[in-house]
Amino acid sequence: MIKLYGLRMSNYYSLVKAAMIEKGLDFEEVKAPPTQKEDNLARSPMGKMPSIEIDGQYISESLAIVSYLERAHPETSLLPADPLEAAKALELTLHIKLDVELAARRLLPAAMFGGSASDELIETTRQEVNRGMQAVSQLMVCKPYAAGAEFGLADLYTYYSMGLASAIGQKMFGTELLADYPQISELMGTLATRRSIAQVTAEAAK
C-alpha cells in the first residue's frame, strides 16, 4: 500500500491525497512534519512535504508523485490522452505552480506565521503574482474545468495552489487575487464541492 507522508495542513499534501482519492487508491497517511532530520531527508531531499513510499522507495515533489500515480494507475486519468492537450494542461499547471503560488509563497511567513516582509518585497511580489495570474488566465479554459472538459491535474493545482496564493494575497495586498477573474473564482467554488477535495478538506479539519 502507498504511504503518504506529511501533514494535512499542507496544500501540496492535500493535492496528492486528492489525486489518490480520485484514482480510488488505497493509501496510508503517515504524520510527518517538514524537518531536516535524516529520516525525512531520505524521503524528501529538501525536507518538505509531501512524499510517498512505494515498496520501500520514496518520491517527493507533488508533480513527480502525481506523474508516478498517473503512469502506475492510468485507469482514472488526470491528464488528457491527446499529447498536445496533455502538454497544455501541464503548461497551465506549471504557470499556476511557479508563477502564481511560488511567487506568492515568499510572503507566506509574513502572511501566516508572524514573520515580516519589507514594503519592497510585498510590492515586487504583488507585481509578479499579478503577472502570473494574467498568464494563467490566458491559458485557463474553464469549460468547465481548468484545462477543458475533464477534471484533472490542472484543477488540482488550481484549487490547492491558487487557494493558498489567494489567501496570501488577501492578507498581504489587501485585495482578492481572483476578483478580476470571475471564471476562475467560479471554478474554485465548483472544485471545493468535488468529492475528493471535499473529503480532503473535511479530514484536514478534524
Q: Which residues bind ligand GSH (CB under 6 A)?
A: 10-12, 34, 47-49, 61-63
Output 102 or 135, the one with its CB closest to ligand GSH: 102
Report the nearest approach of ligand GSH to the CB of residue 9 (Å).
Answer: 8
CA distance 146 to 45: 31
SS3 30: strand
CA distance 128 to 95: 12
Exposure string of 177-203, with b = 16+ CB inside 10 Å and e = fewer, is: bbeebeebeebbeebeebebbeebeee
Report the nearest approach of ligand GSH to the CB of residue 144 (Å).
Answer: 25
Output 146 or 164, the one with its CB closest to ligand GSH: 164
Output 106 or 194, the one with its CB closest to ligand GSH: 106
Report the nearest approach of ligand GSH to the CB of residue 81 (Å).
Answer: 24
Report the nearest approach of ligand GSH to the CB of residue 13 (Å).
Answer: 7
Output 143 or 171, the one with its CB closest to ligand GSH: 171
Output 35 or 134, the one with its CB closest to ligand GSH: 35
Residue 6 CB neighbours (<10 A): 27
Report the nearest approach of ligand GSH to the CB of residue 62 (Å).
Answer: 4
Element (DSSP H or E) covering residue 164: helix 163-173
Contact 188, 5 (CB under 8 A): no
Closest CA to 15 of 126, 154, 169: 154
Q: What residue number has its CB nearest to ligand GSH?
A: 48
